[in-house]
Structure 1
């Protein structure tokens, strides 16, 4: 099996001032495989941006190991580290463009220390602007561009030195939903077209859901859950992950509209997650035929994650207690993840 392109081993990052020491990253180990889009999601202050800045040593860890392309970055001298950093591009939330330079010159600035001739640099910049769909904006200035166009300039600049890795640090957070979608589609295309490994840092689970292959959820400096995007969305294990996912599906709003204290005797409210081929099965209609259990559907959707269907339902089951128990067992045997919604606190 091929060695991961990024290996973070037991990374700790501490910040100190006169009053106290703050641990921003707490013993985190993480592997990112070559060609993956790896999403790291968490709320502000979770430590995700600090963690990814360790990948190119913009933030040196207090402890741990950093290996990129099999190379121990912490052992490199400054000149060697600068060369390694060229293989790791970064894009940021606020674009970091130089307002006094044209779009062409903003991208060309990333090639300043390269061995290319002036003509080769010019050709490379034209190639990059075409790649991100901005060939007609070469002579414009950042102030003349929309937020999405500015981010495309940032992406072109980050790709100037043919990096193996692209780090996206909250790069869509300042953009409207439609523009965010276009930037995510561009990143997805670059991943496939260039074989680019992308590390996507975000607090937007929707962004992770759309393009990531693997996901890590961070909280208080630690990774609390990790897996494929399909695993994380179909069977989240922590309360924080469930909260993120429910927000993207608007399930929180549905649950808030129904008070489980109003359930009648013999009723149960369940959240059902349909996995893979189960999403295509008429399981709900089978419950009455097999067990005389009625299902009132409060919420439902099916979406595709990495080419596989994932369905979510919130239902109220009505019937005899024994039959409902048998119906739930039947659902579980049919590869449906079942969560009973028992109390008002679960909302």
Structure 2
């Protein structure tokens, strides 16, 4: 992670991207400012059309902004000539959703391709390709062709190729969207290794909050060309402010699916007069507390747990429970206050509703 005093490795100021043709104008990115610290893994999440892929392409000037400045690796990209920009891009690797491999070239040749203008000798290039194949776990695929590889293997080649020129930054544009869940996990683990072992800053563009949850330190949520919420991963997951962010998180935690199932249970359909349906969420130390036992001991309130999970974000436990609390309703406000004092977020749910409130 970059230190607070360091210059951000990516500094976007007031970036706007507008596409115009004879019939229409599309405001793809609207006045976005974004800083990414050196060594960070920064997730930019949003639905299709949110503008996130356009924004990430301004970080290497594959997309020129209509207005605003992009300072990357200490260079103002808009001030560089064509030759300087080509040099700058060598330190900004990029991997894509559909791999973009050259089918007529071997895997080794695909990885070697970015090195064709480097100062390395032929033996140095061959060693580099071999080392990169080892890094991504494809030692035995040097002479294979893309058509002989699985999707996950192709993306490993894409990562190796993006690392060929020793970039300081790796831009990942929907890099796991075409992969199954197991392969997605493996590719995210590899990206995490690249960040930790090589110190490479990663920007991950995705519509899948689960991918952000797996490896990112910070996250920004985009909607209609704007960043609507941003912050450290734990803050965003434990205290989301915007409904869009809540929707993403509920999907990633499978809370929306769980709640739909819970609302079909007889205990919820026929909720007793002295009972309430609640969502309890908590982060860190709160997960070590016997919360449910304390409610009974202090307030005589019993809990029927209908759904629960605890996962670890950056080695910090984050828990979610959907429960029916039963007892003396007049004691509920004091019980809720006690839970909140212990760091638990308490949300009363509508038994007949269709979303987490």
Shared topology, TM-score over 0.5?
A: yes
* Residue in 1 that maps onto 2:156: 152
Provide structure 1 residue ranges, at least 5 long, that are not aligned to the other structure: none
Q: Deviations over 1:308-338 (max 9, x none)?
A: 1111111122222320000000000001112
Cα-to-partner distance string for 1:28-75 (whole Å, 9 max, x where unaligned)? 111111111111111111111011001001001111110112221111
Q: Which runs of 5+ in 2 are unaligned?
A: none
| Matched residue count | 347
In 1, the alpha carbon distance for the partners of 2:152 and 2:257 equals 30
Q: Offset at 1:261?
A: 7.0
The aligned residue for residue 303 of structure 1 is: 311
Give deviations 1:192-219, integer Å, cap 9, x for gaps: 1100101011111111111111111111
* Cα distance in structure 2, aligned partners of 1:339 and 1:67: 42
Q: Distance in 2 between matches of 1:138 and 1:123?
A: 12
* 1:262 Cα deviation after fit: 4.5
Return the alpha-carbon distance in structure 1 between the equivalents of residues 74 and 200 of structure 2. 17
Q: Where in structure 2 are the equivalents of 1:267-282 lying within 5 Å?
A: 267-282=275-290
Asked whether 1:292 is paired with 2:300, we answer: yes
Query: 2:247 aligns to what?
Result: 243
TM-score by length of 2: 0.94
Contact 1:318 1:324 in 2 (8 A): no
Contact 2:48 2:207 in 1 (8 A): yes
Contact 2:260 2:354 in 1 (8 A): no
> Within 5 Å, which residues of 2 pair with 1:61-210?
61-210=65-214
Residue 22 of structure 2 aligns to a residue whose secondary structure is coil
Alignment deviations for residues 278-305 of structure 1 (CA, whole Å, 9 cap, x no partner): 0111011111111122222111111110
Deviations 1:157-210 (A, max 9, x none): 000000000011111111111111111111111111100101011111111111
Q: CA RMSD in A?
A: 1.4
- Separation in structure 2 between the aligned mates of residue 262 and residue 53 of structure 1, nearest angstrom: 53
CA contact (8 A) 1:271 1:314 kept: yes
Report how far residue 345 of structure 1 moved.
4.7
The answer for the alignment partner of 1:230 in structure 2 is 234
Q: Does 2:235 align with 1:219?
A: no
- Aligned counterpart in structure 2 of residue 341 of structure 1, from 319, 339, 349: 349
Asked if structure 2 preserves the Cα contact closer than 8 Å seen for 1:261 and 1:344, the reply is: no
* 1:38 and 2:72 correspond: no
- Give distance in 2, aligned partners of 1:224 and 1:263: 37
Tell me the secondary structure at the aligned position of residue 31 of structure 1.
strand
Distance between the aligned counterparts of 1:173 and 1:6, measured in 2? 24
When structure 1 is superposed on structure 2, of 260-269 and 95-104 the one drifting more is 260-269
Checking the alignment, whether the CA contact within 8 Å between 1:270 and 1:314 is kept in structure 2 is yes
Instruction: Answer whether contact 2:277 2:324 (CA < 8 A) is retained.
Output: yes
More displaced 10-residue stretch of structure 1: 315-324 or 32-41: 315-324
1:238 Cα deviation after fit:
1.3
Q: Distance in 2 between matches of 1:267 and 1:33?
A: 48
- State the distance in 2 between where 1:70 and 1:105 align: 31
The 3-state SS of whatever aligns with 1:97 is: coil
